Amino acid sequence: MTADNLSQRVSKLSQRLKELQRECASDPASAPELLSDALESLQASLRDLSEAEKALKESEEKFRLFVDFTYDWEAWFGPDGKYIHVSPSCKQITGYSAE
């Protein structure tokens, strides 16, 4: 599951929760069933998010291992242009550590 898909699901759930709030206010007797359904959806989304986060961490570990043991100078930049990671080989190339 991609981050965009998760973001869309969270947005839809947020909208659905607002609808449920209105429905529960207008028909309090149906509140337990409506809230139970919403809770199941939230739990499924949280499971998916947790799995996606775990997969991302595993992927990052693999790439970090590759970068840390290459003889090339590797650097990762974030969207803001700042360094996220610099391979230790930069010291062999430049004489300066990654910090």
Q: Which domain holds residue 84?
A: 69-99
Q: How many domains does the chain have?
A: 2
The string of pLDDT tens digits covering residues 16-35 is: 778 878 887 888 887 788 77
Task: Please report which helix (H) or strand (E) contains residue 87, including its range.
Answer: none
Q: What is the pLDDT of residue 80?
A: 92
21 and 46 inside one domain:
yes
- Check whether 1 has a pLDDT greater than 60: no
In a domain? residue 24: yes
The string of pLDDT tens digits covering residues 56-68 is: 888 888 877 777 7
Q: What is the pLDDT of residue 88?
A: 83
In a domain? residue 63: no
Q: What is the pLDDT of residue 2?
A: 64
7 and 53 inside one domain:
yes
Closest by CA to 64, choosing from 98, 93, 18, 27, is 98
d(CA 77, CA 83): 5
Q: What is the pLDDT of residue 3?
A: 62
Q: What is the pTM of this model?
A: 0.51
In a domain? residue 11: yes
46 and 90 inside one domain:
no
21 and 53 inside one domain:
yes
In a domain? residue 64: no
Residue 63 · residue 56 · CB < 8 Å: no
42 and 76 inside one domain:
no
Percent above pLDDT 90 for the chain: 1
